[in-house]
Structure 1
Amino acid sequence: MPRFKYHARSAAGALVEGAMEAASASVVANQLTAGGSVPLRIAEEAAASTSAATRKWQLGGQRVNADDLILFCRQMYSLAKAGVPLLRALRGLEDSAGKLVMVDTLSAIQEDLESGRDLTGALGRHPDVFPPLVVNMIRVGESSGKLDRSFDEVANYLTREKQTADQIKSALRYPSFVLVAIAVAVTIITLFVIPAFEKLFSAQGAQLPLPTRIILGISNFAVSWWWAILIGLAAVFFAWRAWVATESGRLIWDRFKLHIPVVGGIIHRATLVRFARGFAMAFGAGVPLIQALGLTARAVGNQFVAKRLDKLRRGVERGDTLTRSAAASEMFTPLVLQMLSVGEETGSVDSMLLEVGDFYAREIDYDISRLSSAIEPILIVVIGAMVLVLALGVFLPMWNMATVMRGG
């Protein structure tokens, strides 16, 4: 006879768990109900362990990304709107989850709920999966009885965030490919092509031009010490990663990204779109102003902008208006500050910030549409410089030798 593990709640409200041998899960449920307990979860022990092992083998341990969160919020919105009990909804999502880390997280959330913890408290114990802004938005929905609406708003917010990030990646894909191709071409020329020319030049015994001697010196160094160059590049990469992981390094790097030619302005506006939409969503749902500012400042993904937005929050805490504090942060354009001022006067800061987010999003769409054409002149200059160096260093002595041979 199979053995079933069960979780139930007694008539006094205490959580009860144990195991029981029975012909089926329904028999266990009937016995628990007859004893005055409400069954919460019943699973066959052997089947459960086999299923868990099978799922671990199938799913692996990938990290949760934006697509996973969007899918989770969409599913929870549909289930909550349909009136499906929370535990049953989470159990169904656990069975259909596509990643092991999501399976483990949903299982842990169910255990927390069964032990008496609320949903947002259970979600908040997994910050690597559920960001603080998402957790606080769901907290508002849970406390106001509008859990389905909160999940829908979070899903829409995450969808817009992903669309903006995908647009930027798509726009940078072409120039990144060109730069990588140029780097590969320079490496091949330095390691293989130029050494072949060196033998030709040495056979002539003529004095080589200075540009040619410099290129040959670089080529000889690269051929002889290529392993040291690779080690040096790896050391620089890992040192940079360690430096960026520090608070000061992250602050400097995030500030530098905002000043990159052509791309920096897009990154800046995309960060402010994230802030405006996140703050509008949180504040419009009832999160207190100071708390909403603090949450969205930490969720923008740029330490430098977060510091400036934290300055905005401190200004509001001191009693300044939102508009004056925003102006002191030096993050917003005059047009946006005017829109914030109108929002404060009319009591519609959340809707006005949504307009700010849409305004920046339209600017980003326009900048991304012309990003390739803006980067092309830079790429042409880089390619032209490489061709000039090769012409001076490699082809110039060949032309000189051809001239000497014709003269001889």
Structure 2
Amino acid sequence: MNYRYRAMTQDGQKLQGIIDANDERQARLRLCEEGLFLLDIRPQKSSGVKTRRPRISHSELTLFTRQLATLSAAALPLEESLAVIGQQSSNKRLGDVLNQVRSAILEGHPLSDALQHFPTLFDSLYRTLVKAGEKSGLLAPVLEKLADYNENRQKIRSKLIQSLIYLCMLTTVAIGVVIILLTAVVPKITEQFVHMKQQLPLSTRILLGLSDTLQRTGPTLLATVFIVAVGFWLWLKRGNNRHRFHAMLLRVALIGPLICAINSARYLRTLSILQSSGVPLLDGMNLSTESLNNLEIRQRLANAAENVRQGNSIHLSLE
């Protein structure tokens, strides 16, 4: 929120301006930190036109984490590191977030608590690793590991998206070619055979039947596919249907083993980082499940963590 203020410098010069802060208290604190004597402050009236702030990308978050790790390793105070990174950031939204985190630290809060105000940007895994680094006194190495983890995860995600886009393009082109052949090319060839009064092979007659069906019921077929897709999407949103669907996927040949392999690798990689950062095993097992996409696997591993908490061995719990 923007606040319009009037203040006086230490040499008696009056000035006015606009400051962006979460609330009036934070705005007053930031102005006092700048050595200003506040005369008046009030919320700025909205002009009715909403400006859209740029979102913070995964690459920008990874870059911030690595920069903070480098500055922390150089023994620069945390609040100064945040101020430097915030000033150099080209993303105004990230700069505002870092200013608010810095203000919370100046009020006496640890970094992990300050990050809790932005749960959509700094998830529970991020905050837990930072908290573990603060307790162990190894914040810089933990941040470096966290930056590497986010970077590798983003690379895998980008490769997966590129592969899916390529597959979708090939599928779309193939379907388009088949539709054009069945609706435009095949009927013309059929006319030639009819004029020649020749008996068509069985495979050709089947192809002609498909072509005729597609021409007569094409719009209806597309509408049916659309309705089924929307209905399936709505079905997934109800109750435990998404969980049931994820469990069903694990029983499908080829797809199930692939999903298990991807989620297992992600779980073990996350748990390894948490363990090397000093996070207790049970906390690490519970946090690692949050990085998984498949709800059925997430539930099984949560049950495994509960079995370990009750005193069972890890390898038996994970079987």
Class of the TM-score when normalised by the shorter of the 2 chains: 0.7 to 0.9
**Higher relative contact order structure (alpha carbons within 8 Å, sequence separation ≥ 6):** 1
**1:64 alignment counterpart:** 57
Q: Is the 8 A contact 2:115 2:122 kept in 1?
A: yes
**1:17 alignment counterpart:** 28
**1:269 alignment counterpart:** 261
**2:82 alignment counterpart:** 90
The one-letter code sitting in structure 1 at the alignment partner of 2:57 is V
Structure 2 length as normaliser, TM-score?
0.73
Tell me, yes or no, if structure 1 residue 3 matches structure 2 residue 27. Answer: no
The one-letter code sitting in structure 2 at the alignment partner of 1:109 is V
Structure with the greater alpha carbon radius of gyration: 1
Pairwise CA distance, 1:255: 3.6
CA distance in 2, matches of 1:170, 1:265: 22
Pairwise CA distance, 1:154: 0.8
**2:292 alignment counterpart:** 300
1:76 paired residue among 59, 68, 82: 68
2:111 paired residue among 114, 119, 124: 119
Q: Percent identity?
A: 19
CA distance in 2, matches of 1:127, 1:15: 19
Which structure shows the bigger proportion of residues in helix conformation?
1
CA distance in 1, matches of 2:245, 2:79: 43
Q: Find the residue that maps to 1:125 and give its secondary structure.
A: coil
CA distance in 2, matches of 1:143, 1:309: 27
CA distance in 1, matches of 2:242, 2:87: 39
CA distance in 2, matches of 1:309, 1:300: 10
| Aligned-residue RMSD, C-alpha | 3.8
What's the CA shift string for 1:199-242, capped at 9, x where partnerless? 556767888765145213322224xx52x444443333333333
Q: Is the 8 A contact 2:55 2:93 kept in 1?
A: yes
CA distance in 2, matches of 1:105, 1:2: 25
Q: Is the 8 A contact 1:6 1:17 kept in 2?
A: no
Structure 1 length as normaliser, TM-score?
0.59
**1:181 alignment counterpart:** 173
What's the CA shift string for 1:146-184, capped at 9, x where partnerless? 221221111122233234444545565655443332222
CA distance in 2, matches of 1:182, 1:19: 60
Pairwise CA distance, 1:321: 1.0
Q: Is the 8 A contact 1:258 1:268 kept in 2?
A: yes
2:215 paired residue among 207, 215, 220: 220
What's the CA shift string for 1:264-298, capped at 9, x where partnerless? 43432221121112112212322222211111012
Structure 1 pair 275/19, CA: closer, same or farther in 2 (3 Å)?
closer
1:141-152 map, 5 Å = 141-152=133-144
CA distance in 2, matches of 1:239, 1:100: 40
CA distance in 2, matches of 1:244, 1:99: 36
Structure 1 pair 126/238, CA: closer, same or farther in 2 (3 Å)?
farther
